[in-house]
Structure 1
Amino acid sequence: MRLLAVVLGGLGLVVSPAWGQPFSVSQQFGAAHEAYAHAQYEEAAERYRALLDSGHASAVLYHNLGNAYVRLNRTGEAVWAYERGRRLQSEGPRLQHNLEYIRRRAGLPQGGLPPTGLGAVVAGWSPLVLFGIGMLALCAGAFGAVVRVGPGRRVAWHAPIAWGPVGAGLLLVAVALGTSYVQAQERRAVVVSEATPLRSAPADTASVDTTLRPGRIVEPNTKRDKWVRVRIGAETKGWIASRALREI
């Protein structure tokens, strides 16, 4: 997929049109892109969201939706869109740049919410890379076993040149699958409402421990009626209204 970068004044935000998609989807994306280019940011955001709702999610689409939200000063929703895009394209430099920009502008932590437990151990690991290396090692072991075959001899799976790479390959594949599972269990959500109170209990009358800015990353846990218990730090937990959150 090729990205056509359009530099917009001041903010340095870029919008990327979609290529290689079905014609009707490209038309819808083009209409949203045109609305954005003409500073019709509300219409652009609605069109991008309509594409997402119809099942055409992509990192480019979330990226452009985030840009529209930035222009509308909807910080929480912009962070949510960028973070959703990062889930699909973790190494997108433009998307990462815009996410860092909006966080700096809003005075938010740049790193989001750090993982805990096993999630902290495998943070930054790429299951796809681990799986690929594991498969290469398996192939190398199989090749080593075959080349050791001589006249009247069986495939030499017992030779170190075979079982060494095969064992390493199986281990890497297992680590890749485990890493993918652990990372998938990590839940994160973004505060999208202004001045969201973090309460000590799931009730409007409960005491307020602190107030969360839009764009703050939290870890949602228990849900009770219209309330969600969240973690915002190593020891800081509390309850916020579920309508104030949007899960990544």
Structure 2
Amino acid sequence: MKKSIFLLLLCSFSAAFAQNDLLFESASKAYNEGKYQEAIDNYHEILKSGQHSAELYFNLGNSYYKVNKIGPSIYYYEKALLLSPNDDEIINNLAFAQKMTIDAITPMPETAITRIVANLKNILTFDQWAYTAVIFMILFVVLYLAFYFFRFADKKRIAFIVSMVCLFGMVISILFAVFQYRDYTQTQPAIIFATEAAVKEEPNNRSATLFDLHEGSKVYVEEKLNDWNKIRLADGKNGWILANDLRLIKEF
């Protein structure tokens, strides 16, 4: 009985993946033929099945860019970048899309050290840094055992030095994994989807409008209250905006 249920589930998953592959091929063909809305519809059908990937989000970003929907385009490029942070093609296309936005948001200045650490930390995602730490740990153990069992001084010295390098690499990888995980869980980036959205001083329509944001701008959600989100910009400005005017990037 259990074997039959397992086989049934396996067949269902296989059929779902096959269907998604057909949809992906159809979407890619529609895109190449200039049928961008058809491609968008097919990609969204794949998302509805629960399957997602950097390639899927990247293709969705490209399709929306072709129909001049900058907000969704940037949104899906950003989602693709979360899954593949070092993909040059995603980074370049995102930069092109961001040039189409209206709002000029200048990030707050960073020190050189902070910028270098951030660039190093963002080379990998937090789970990739965790895997790297495990690899360094295994190498450290193997090399330390080699140091213990080697007879000749030269080999013992080399094994010891390389094991210490691996130990250092493991510690750095763990720190970067922790920092990346903290950043991932404590920040909620979002993209403005409304053509124009008023940022209010308080979470109600009667309060004063501090400034306006436009489609495609990136913000960070700090607090939620009923139908309102308190947002912060990269330049330090903050205020309240209607939740329906934006979409969270980390919603999968």
Alignment of 1:174-185 (within 5 A): 174-185=174-185
Deviates more, 1:62-71 or 1:34-43: 34-43
- The equivalent position to 1:64 in structure 2, one of 54, 59, 65, is 59
> How many residues end up aligned between the 2 structures?
219
The corresponding residue for 1:149 is 149
Identity rate of aligned residues, in percent?
A: 22
Alignment of 1:19-98 (within 5 A): 22-98=17-93
Alignment of 1:1-248 (within 5 A): 22-107=17-102, 123-124=118-119, 125=121, 126=124, 127=126, 128=128, 131-132=131-132, 135-136=135-136, 138-149=138-149, 164-165=164-165, 167-185=167-185, 186-248=187-249
- Assess if the C-alpha contact under 8 Å between 1:130 and 1:175 holds in 2: no
* Structure 1 residues without counterparts, runs of 5 or longer: 1-20
Deviates more, 1:60-69 or 1:180-189: 180-189
Q: Which has the higher contact order (CA 8 A, sep 6+)?
A: 2
Question: Residues 134 and 172 of structure 1: is their aligned pair in 2 closer, same or farther, counting only changes over 3 Å?
Answer: farther
CA distance in 2: counterparts of 1:88 and 1:111, whole angstroms: 25
Runs (4+) off by over 6 Å:
110-115
Question: Residues 169 and 101 of structure 1: is their aligned pair in 2 closer, same or farther, counting only changes over 3 Å?
Answer: closer
Question: Residues 211 and 149 of structure 1: is their aligned pair in 2 closer, same or farther, counting only changes over 3 Å?
Answer: same
So what's the TM-score if we normalise by structure 1?
0.75
The corresponding residue for 1:11 is none
CA distance in 2: counterparts of 1:148 and 1:136, whole angstroms: 18
Q: Deviations over 1:177-224 (max 9, x none)?
A: 312322322220000110111111111222111110111110001111
The structure where helix makes up a greater share of residues is 2
* 1:145 CA displacement: 3.0
Question: Residues 22 and 148 of structure 1: is their aligned pair in 2 closer, same or farther, counting only changes over 3 Å?
Answer: same
Question: Residues 225 and 122 of structure 1: is their aligned pair in 2 closer, same or farther, counting only changes over 3 Å?
Answer: farther
Letter in 2 for 1:194: T
So what's the TM-score if we normalise by structure 2?
0.74
* Structure 2 residues without counterparts, runs of 5 or longer: 1-15
Letter in 2 for 1:34: K
